[in-house]
């Protein structure tokens, strides 16, 4: 029987949260948090095990991570391999896990009617999993494939270098992912059986008293408790003591060091790290949140604001410590803490609902670290102003305690050391406190100061009364200048709004040069606004300015009280834009590095890029953009921006806690600023200039193939994207394709990844280009060349054809119901809803009732119709089958490149742009401005 105590009633939750929570402890000491949400469309659960990679046995690096992989295979109660993942997928859900230093987290979501059985299957991970010898060997290869994927990732390389430069007696120093070397070669050389070690690790560490479970359901708390207890009470409890890791990861020899390291990608980065007192001890006092708020501030007078004009390492170090000294001299400011606490409190009480699968993961992690009262808030609510504790942490941020890591390609050939797991080249220098003091002394005399009071903090959090109860966005305004779609908040009752303004400018992507200049313009615009708009972001009013295919877009989302103020400032900056040469060249260098770093993308990303480049009309190759970028000057942008804005059409969407007349007033103001006056910045676009999205139409019954060498010769991964182009947007065809993808997704993953071990990245997914629907297989592999991967995809489809026909009527109906349930799922928050409707607007489809219409089509769909669809579009030799295979070959598969090319029986695309010009195009949904009615 589960035990409940008084703490269960003390869980502190947001004022706007209508969910019910209950803490129980099962007889096996498993601590459980039940979350009842009658409005949810998805149920979810997460189990956090307080064991992670820090607990890996010596000489078996990555064992905890490997165990995480293995628990997904099978169990004594459900011995069929892959049955858990198949059940979750076929019932509209998803599942995953991750291993961290001190915990491993397993989680899933699923449609409500399948939740009880899904929980039972999930519980078997921790009761009696089966780890067969065959599956063990196959999954070691999967772990190794995951490691191979990360070998040339600067994020993974840099993280491991920091760990490498720490005390070898502390588990922080370990390599934690695992590889073929650590899980097979080395153990075998020592006479160890990895599977036996795996079982020993599981039995010795996976104890119920070291686990925390969160269960999220639409059922009442009482029913949930009755479902959870019998399913999870059989998890063994060995009363394992919680594992602690005493000692410091960094001794004196690992402090006061300057580490120079060579990254894979172009760019320069300085990272400063200090070992500090664990902030979890003082989460209510929030010392790290207070100091992070100030040191990371980006407003005028901040460290960030000043550093934008400096690039020498000594200047950066000196200015950083100058700012830390300023914090020491200014003392701990109660008004800053109170302002920060107020922002955090507002954010907590009005935080958006998130997908249950994300929510349960966060809560399960919080259960490990916080008392039950603070499981929902965690460390997000600093509430106790304690200057001495903040000062304690501030005093640890000293020159004598710092580790400085400096990444730059300039260090190539100048380093003498190599990190053993990833092969990162680096060197280490000791730097004295006196040297840093000298850098502080000679640092530029900039006017650093604390931030001003934040004027963007909302004080009016009221909900607009009498909002019109509209179901879908409505077109409330249309002119030669703009089109305004409006959707009041009728679901979320939150004092927030979402505003999206797309500037459709015919000159934006007229050529590779104009595309690049448009990109630089949007980045410069954001750069100019940052010192002002950063205050809004701190106060919960996020904004972004992004380069788009048709120009640029402005998005503002957050508390609506001060939103208009921020929007008007953004528009004023656009209207009065001038080019600052010094900032232009900084942004230009950043853009150039971004383009140059394209060659370091994962091979599967390169293959997806080639697929898009082949299919999207009027898209420019990155190679041409790199060619023109070096020759562009500030004067070029000064001449270009007036031309860019000279013809503009505004596509606008306003949603949330805003009345229709307010929305119209916002857009009217924008029109007045940009289109009115004696010298208007913008003029309306001509009817012939309205922008379109055109997609190349592949020929029926044809298979096309594009070959490319991997752009990074050091990357041993090859990749395949096998794309099926199926149809232009149509409700019935859409659901046939989606149902095929749902049914085939998990079998494809199991066969191609788990059984054949082709590569860690193996996925079947839908792909949509501006209303043109398709599906694609994406595989990245070190073990097989793309030609072989292509053959295995076709072999899978041949096998799947039989399975589709063997499917029982009951199985078919369950899959249909699962997809219906997915489509019935309500939007969780205003931002999610707005993005859904905005996609309809930007694509030009305007099918705001898409979910309802597709559900109606699904419910009429028969199994015979699905089989006919498969036979017509997907099956090998299907009459309307249209495929495009983009293959990226690594240097290790260079021999197969030529042999595959000569043996391929597909139509080879040798020149992308000649091919694009030779093909017909689908009609564009976008650009139909004249057909829209108010």
Catalytic residues, by residue number, are: 68, 139
Taking residue 756's Cβ as centre, other Cβ atoms within 10 Å add up to: 20
Per-residue tokens: 215 = 């269960």
Residue appearing with tokens 């790199």: 626
Contacts of 708 (CB under 8 A, 6+ apart): 606, 607, 610, 886, 887, 888, 889
Helix pair 634-646, 581-596: axis angle to 10 deg: 90
State the angle between helix axes of 850-860 and 809-824 in degrees (0 to 180), rounded to the nearest 10.
170
Helix ranges (DSSP H) in 717-759: 731-749
- Using alpha carbons, select from 527, 566, 526 the residue that is nearest to residue 305: 527
Structure tokens at 823: 């489509």
Which sign, positive or negative, has the C-alpha torsion 416, 420, 422, 423? positive
Q: How many CB atoms lie within 10 A of CB 596?
A: 15
Contact present, 711 and 526 (Cβ < 8 Å):
no
DSSP 19-35: -EEEEEE-TT--EEEEE
CA–CA dist 733, 745 (Å, integer): 18
β 649-656/482-488 pair status:
parallel
Secondary structure tally for the chain: helices H, strands E: 31, 25
In this structure, what token pair is assigned to residue 818?
């699962």
Question: What burial letters (b/e) apply to 613-626, b meaning 16+ CB within 10 Å?
Answer: bbbbbeebebeebb
Whose tokens are 């770093």? That residue is 597
> Beta strand 20-25 with 31-36: parallel, antiparallel or unpaired?
antiparallel
SS3 692: coil
CB contact at 8 A, 583 and 527: yes
Region of 195 on the Ramachandran plot (φ > 0 left; ψ -120 to 50 alpha; else beta): alpha
Distance of CA 378 to the CA centre of its chain: 22
The answer to whether the CB of 223 falls within 8 A of the CB of 127 is no
Tokens of 574: 């656009």
645 three-state secondary structure: helix
* Lookup result for tokens 């005493």: 246
Joined together, the tokens standing for residue 420 give 């053993």
Quote the CA–CA distance of 620 and 637 in Å, as a whole number. 19
């Amino acid at each position: 029987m589960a035990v409940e105590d008084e703490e269960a009633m003390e869980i502190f939750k947001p004022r706007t949260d209508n969910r019910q929570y209950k803490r129980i402890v099962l007889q096996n000491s498993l601590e459980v948090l039940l979350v009842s949400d009658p409005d949810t469309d998805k149920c979810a659960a997460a189990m956090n095990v307080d064991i992670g990679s820090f607990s890996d046995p010596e000489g078996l690096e990555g064992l905890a991570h490997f165990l995480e992989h293995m628990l997904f295979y099978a169990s004594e109660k459900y011995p069929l391999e892959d049955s858990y993942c198949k059940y979750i997928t076929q019932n509209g859900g998803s599942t995953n896990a991750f291993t961290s230093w001190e915990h491993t987290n397993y989680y899933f979501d699923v449609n409500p009617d399948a939740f009880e059985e899904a929980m039972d299957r999930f519980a078997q991970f921790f009761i009696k999993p089966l780890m067969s010898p065959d599956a063990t060997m196959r999954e070691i290869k999967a772990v190794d494939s995951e490691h191979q994927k990360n070998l040339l990732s600067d994020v993974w390389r840099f993280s491991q270098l920091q760990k490498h430069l720490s005390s070898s007696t502390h588990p922080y120093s370990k390599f934690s992912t695992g590889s073929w070397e650590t899980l097979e070669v080395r153990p075998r050389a020592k006479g160890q059986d990895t599977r036996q070690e795996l079982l020993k690790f599981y039995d010795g560490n996976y104890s119920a008293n070291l686990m925390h479970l969160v269960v999220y359901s639409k059922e009442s708390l009482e029913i949930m408790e009755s479902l959870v207890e019998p399913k999870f009470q059989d998890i063994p409890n060995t009363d394992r003591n919680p594992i602690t890791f005493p000692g410091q990861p960094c001794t004196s020899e690992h402090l006061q060091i300057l580490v120079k390291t060579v990254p894979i990608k172009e760019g320069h980065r300085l990272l400063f790290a200090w070992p500090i007192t664990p902030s979890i001890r003082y989460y209510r006092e929030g010392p790290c949140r207070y100091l992070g708020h100030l040191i990371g501030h980006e407003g005028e007078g901040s460290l960030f604001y000043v550093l934008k004009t400096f690039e020498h390492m000594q200047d950066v170090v000196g200015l950083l410590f100058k700012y830390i000294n300023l914090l020491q001299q200014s003392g701990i400011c109660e008004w800053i803490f109170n302002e920060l606490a107020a922002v955090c409190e507002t954010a907590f009480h009005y935080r958006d609902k998130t997908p249950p699968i994300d929510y349960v993961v966060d809560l399960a992690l919080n259960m490990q670290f916080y008392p039950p009262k603070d499981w929902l808030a965690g460390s997000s609510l600093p509430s106790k102003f304690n200057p001495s504790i903040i000062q304690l942490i501030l005093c640890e941020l000293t020159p004598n305690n710092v580790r400085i890591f400096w990444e730059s390609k300039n260090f190539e050939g100048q380093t003498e050391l190599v990190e053993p797991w990833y092969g990162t080249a680096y060197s280490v220098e000791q730097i004295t406190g006196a040297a840093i003091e000298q850098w502080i002394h000679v640092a530029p005399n900039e006017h650093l100061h604390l931030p001003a009071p934040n004027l963007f903090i909302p004080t009016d959090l009221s909900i607009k009364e009498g909002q019109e109860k509209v179901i879908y966005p409505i077109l409330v305004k249309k002119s030669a200048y703009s089109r305004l779609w409006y959707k009041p908040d009728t679901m979320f009752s939150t004092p927030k709004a979402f505003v999206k303004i797309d500037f459709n400018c015919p000159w934006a992507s007229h050529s590779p040069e104009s595309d690049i200049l448009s990109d630089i313009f949007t980045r410069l615009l954001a750069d100019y606004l940052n010192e002002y708009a950063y205050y809004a972001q701190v106060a919960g009013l996020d904004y972004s300015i992004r380069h788009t295919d048709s120009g640029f877009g402005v998005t503002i989302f957050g508390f609506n009280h001060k939103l208009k103020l921020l929007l008007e400032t953004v528009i004023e900056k656009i209207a009065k834009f001038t080019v600052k040469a010094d900032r232009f060249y900084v942004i230009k260098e950043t853009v150039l590095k971004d383009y140059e770093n394209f060659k370091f993308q994962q091979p599967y990303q390169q293959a997806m890029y080639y697929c898009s480049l082949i299919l999207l009309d009027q898209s420019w190759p990155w190679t041409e953009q790199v060619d023109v970028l070096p020759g562009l000057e500030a004067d070029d942008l000064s001449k270009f921006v007036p031309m860019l804005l000279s013809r503009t059409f505004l596509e606008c969407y306003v949603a949330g806690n805003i009345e229709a007349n307010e929305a119209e007033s916002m857009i009217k103001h924008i029109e007045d600023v940009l289109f009115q006056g004696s010298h208007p910045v913008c003029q309306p676009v001509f009817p012939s200039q309205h922008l379109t999205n055109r997609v190349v139409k592949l020929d029926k019954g044809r298979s096309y193939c594009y070959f490319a060498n991997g752009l990074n010769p050091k990357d041993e991964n090859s990749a395949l994207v096998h794309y099926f182009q199926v149809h232009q947007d149509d409700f019935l065809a859409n659901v046939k394709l989606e149902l095929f993808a749902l049914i085939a997704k998990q079998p494809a993953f199991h066969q191609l990844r788990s059984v054949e071990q082709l590569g860690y990245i193996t996925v079947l997914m839908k792909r949509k280009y501006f209303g043109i629907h398709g599906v694609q297989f994406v595989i990245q592999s070190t073990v097989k060349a793309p030609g072989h991967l292509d053959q295995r995809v076709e072999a899978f489809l041949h096998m799947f054809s039989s399975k589709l026909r063997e499917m029982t009527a009951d199985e078919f109906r369950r899959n249909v119901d699962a997809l219906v349930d997915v489509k019935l799922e309500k939007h969780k928050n205003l931002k999610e809803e707005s993005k859904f409707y905005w996609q309809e607007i930007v694509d030009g489809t305007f099918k705001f009732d898409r979910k309802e219409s597709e559900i109606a089509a699904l419910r009429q769909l028969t199994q015979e119709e699905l089989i006919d669809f498969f036979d017509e579009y997907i099956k090998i030799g299907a009459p309307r089958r249209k495929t495009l295979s983009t293959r990226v070959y690594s240097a290790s598969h260079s021999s197969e490149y030529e042999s595959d090319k000569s043996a391929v029986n597909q139509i080879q695309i040798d020149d992308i742009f000649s091919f694009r010009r030779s093909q017909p195009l689908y009609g564009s949904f976008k650009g139909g401005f004249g057909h829209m009615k108010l």
